[in-house]
């Protein structure tokens, strides 16, 4: 698969990003302020329409080992391409992440670049369901989280999905935009939404680029793993069916958790994120976001298991370079236990009904067990595919990432759960 990418970022903000990457923070902040006040910089350009040649997709299956590939597991008609009626528009959608954090440091308290979301109106809960705020404390600090407990549950232990929001978002916003709770209600799944406070990051980004927040049993990974284990203690959770997914900074953190806790998470989902180890400081974070992450090595902590991974990325993402989606998939396949010699890849393409085209690459072993599933969405920017307008950073025209992630997750169990 060959791709050409368009950043879609307004020129003035691209220059601010360049200045920040060069370490000229004062100049970058001043430029952002001028742009926002309308006194400097060019007006944001309209996003270019998707070009038919923007993505070249292999139609025929790819043979990695010279053998005829097995048919890849297909999304069900119910799961693939489910849409909401109207695309969401907004101010500079997705232009945030670390740039927001930096800009906020030099601006008055409460200043926001735009594109964030106020707390959305909550959908009515089904009778017997709950969506409540709880808290977890550990050596690295304290984090609140919201937990959705579905009304539809049985006496059997339930799967658990941990959802990590992007910058400026909240658990309520992320739940509303992804509609994960509605799918969890249908299937009888617990969903947890850890909350990153502004005290930890000015724009509520998970600190995926800091070394102290990239390892097992320390920093933010230890807090999220602690939340996961607390829920497992307090509820009837199937320890072999625990999963973690995230968007943008949350997706990058999900990749870190998969590398650091393969004994805890059966599979991970990374939407518009970066691979584990993509950066070690702010300049390298900006470089990875702009250009794609450099070659990264898979983590082997906590048992050394290759964690099945599903990836979503828009090929017009101007915030996190689409090459990072390729890097996340490559990291999953590069694990020493992945059995690369026997993996086979099948590439399919399709279109969400009335919406965007996409390619879906599935890497499976001879038994049909899928290690990695990689979705590239044509013309999509930095937003959750198939999401709802009631949350921020969503693209209703894309395939339904929420249902596809749940489908992928529930097809995997962690036979080594609890071994570390």
Instruction: Give Cα separations from 43 to 39, 137, 383 (angstroms).
Output: 10, 45, 22
Given this model, what pLDDT does residue 393 score? Answer: 96
Give residues with Cβ within 8 angstroms of 405, minimum separation 6.
161, 245, 269, 310
Which portions of the chain are predicted below pLDDT 70? 1-122, 295-304, 339-341, 417-420
**Residues 217-239: tens digit of each pLDDT:** 999 999 999 999 999 999 999 99
Given this model, what pLDDT does residue 37 score? Answer: 46
Backbone angles phi, psi at 138, to 5 degrees: -145, 180
Give residues with Cβ within 8 angstroms of 16, minimum separation 6.
28, 31, 32, 35, 99, 103
Contact present, 403 and 183 (Cβ < 8 Å): yes
Given this model, what pLDDT does residue 77 score? Answer: 44
> Where do runs of H (alpha helix) occur along 293-383?
323-333
Given the structure tokens 């070009």, which residue do they identify? 51
Q: b or e along 272-293 (b: 16 or more beta carbons within 10 Å of the residue's beta carbon)?
A: bbbbbbbbeebeebbbbbbebb
Contact present, 170 and 204 (Cβ < 8 Å): yes
d(CA 332, CA 311): 10
Q: Percentage of the chain with pLDDT > 90?
A: 60
Given this model, what pLDDT does residue 261 score? Answer: 96
d(CA 170, CA 114): 15
The architecture that CATH gives domain 58-85+130-410 is 3-Layer(aba) Sandwich (3.40)
d(CA 391, CA 120): 7
Q: Where are the domains of the chain?
A: 58-85+130-410
Q: Exposed, middle or buried: residue 136 (CB in 10 Å: 0-12, 13-18, 19+)? A: buried
Given this model, what pLDDT does residue 305 score? Answer: 79
**Residues 159-196: tens digit of each pLDDT:** 999 999 999 999 999 999 999 999 999 999 999 999 99
Per DSSP, the three-state class of 152 is coil
């Amino acid at each position: 698969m060959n791709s050409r990418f368009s950043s879609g970022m307004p020129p003035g903000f691209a220059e601010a990003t360049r200045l920040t990457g060069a370490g000229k923070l004062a100049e970058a902040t001043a430029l952002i302020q001028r742009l926002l006040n309308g006194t400097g910089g060019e007006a944001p350009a309209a996003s270019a329409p998707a070009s038919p040649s923007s993505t070249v997709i292999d139609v025929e299956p790819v043979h990695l080992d010279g053998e005829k590939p097995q048919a890849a597991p297909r999304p069900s008609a119910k799961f693939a391409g489910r849409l909401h009626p109207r695309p969401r528009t907004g101010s500079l959608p997705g232009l945030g992440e670390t740039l927001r954090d930096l800009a906020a440091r030099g601006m008055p308290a409460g200043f926001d670049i735009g594109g964030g979301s106020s707390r959305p109106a909550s959908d009515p809960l089904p009778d017997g369901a709950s969506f409540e705020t709880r808290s977890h404390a550990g050596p690295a600090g304290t984090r609140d989280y919201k937990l959705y407990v579905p009304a539809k549950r049985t006496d059997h232990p339930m799967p658990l999905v941990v959802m990590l929001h992007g910058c400026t978002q909240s658990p309520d916003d992320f739940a509303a935009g992804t509609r994960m709770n509605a799918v969890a209600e249908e299937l009888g799944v617990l969903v947890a939404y850890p909350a990153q406070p502004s005290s930890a990051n000015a724009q509520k980004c998970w600190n995926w680029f800091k070394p102290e927040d990239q390892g097992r049993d320390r920093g933010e990974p230890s807090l999220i793993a602690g939340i996961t284990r607390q829920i497992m203690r307090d509820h009837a959770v199937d320890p072999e069916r625990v999963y973690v997914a995230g968007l943008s900074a949350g997706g990058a953190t999900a990749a870190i958790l998969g590398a650091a806790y393969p004994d805890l998470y059966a599979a991970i989902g990374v939407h518009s994120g970066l691979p584990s180890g993509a950066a070690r400081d702010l300049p390298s974070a900006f470089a990875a976001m702009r250009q794609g992450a450099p070659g990264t090595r898979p983590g082997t902590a906590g048992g050394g298991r290759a964690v099945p991974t599903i990836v979503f990325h828009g090929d017009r993402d101007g915030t996190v370079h689409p090459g990072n989606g390729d890097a996340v998939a490559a990291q999953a396949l590069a694990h020493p236990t992945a059995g690369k010699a026997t993996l086979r890849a099948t590439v399919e393409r399709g279109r969400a009904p009335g919406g965007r085209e996409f390619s879906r690459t599935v890497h499976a072993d001879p038994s049909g067990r899928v290690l990695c599933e990689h979705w590239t969405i044509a013309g999509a920017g930095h937003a959750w595919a198939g999401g709802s307008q009631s949350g921020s950073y969503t693209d209703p025209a894309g395939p339904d990432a929420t249902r596809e992630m749940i489908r992928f997750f529930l097809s995997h169990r962690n036979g080594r759960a609890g071994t570390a």
